[in-house]
Structure 1
Amino acid sequence: MVTRDFSGYEVAKALVNKGNFQWVRTPGDHAVLKWEHPDGPEVKKRSVTIPLHDRVRVGTLRGIAEDAGAKDFEKFCEWIDRNR
C-alpha cells in the first residue's frame, strides 16, 4: 500500500525540488507554490497552497494533487514518497 502520511514541508519540498514549482510566499503556516508551463504563462500555470503542518490530511493531499495537475492520486503519493 502506498503511504499517504506526509508533512506539508515534505510535499512542498518535493514539488519545488522535482516538480519545477517555485515557492512564492509563506502566509502564516501555508506555502504558496506556483508553476508555469515552459512555453510561458499564457499556455498554462498552476498555483498550489500547502499547509505546513506535521501531517497533511488525505483530503487536503488530494486537493494538492489536483491543484498540482496530478491525474492519479496514488501515483502522486508514490512520487512524493520517492522525492521527499
Structure 2
Amino acid sequence: MNSRMLIAEIMADGWILKRVKGSHHHFTHPNKTGLVTIPHPKKDLPANTVKSIRQQAGL
C-alpha cells in the first residue's frame, strides 16, 4: 500500500491534517485521542507499518 491510499483511508474516517514536518504528515481526530503520523510520499509502506498506523487510527 502506498502512503496516498492510507492518507485517503484515514481522512475518510475523519482524521484531519494537523501539520507536516519534513516527509511526515501528522493527523488528529476531533473525537479520538492521539496523533497519527504517516510518512509521505512513500510508494510501498511495509505491511507492519500499515497495520500499526491503522491501529493508532482505530480502523
The TM-score bracket by the shorter chain reads: 0.7 to 0.9
* Corresponding residue number in structure 2 for 1:9: 4
The alpha-carbon deviation at position 7 of structure 1 amounts to: 0.8
In 1, Cα distance between the equivalents of 2:22 and 2:55? 23
Q: Is 1:63 the counterpart of 2:57 in the alignment? A: no
Match of 2:38 among 47, 50, 53: 50
Given the two structures, how large is their TM-score scaled by the length of structure 2?
Answer: 0.84
* Corresponding residue number in structure 2 for 1:28: 22
- Larger Rg: 1 or 2? 1
Which AA in structure 2 matches 1:9?
A: R
The alignment's C-alpha RMSD in Å is 1.2
- Tell me the number of residue pairs that the alignment of Structure 1 and Structure 2 aligns: 58
Given the two structures, how large is their TM-score scaled by the length of structure 1?
Answer: 0.62
**Gapped regions of structure 2 (runs ≥ 5):** none
**Gapped regions of structure 1 (runs ≥ 5):** 1-5, 38-43, 71-84
Could you tell me the percent identity over the aligned residues?
Answer: 21
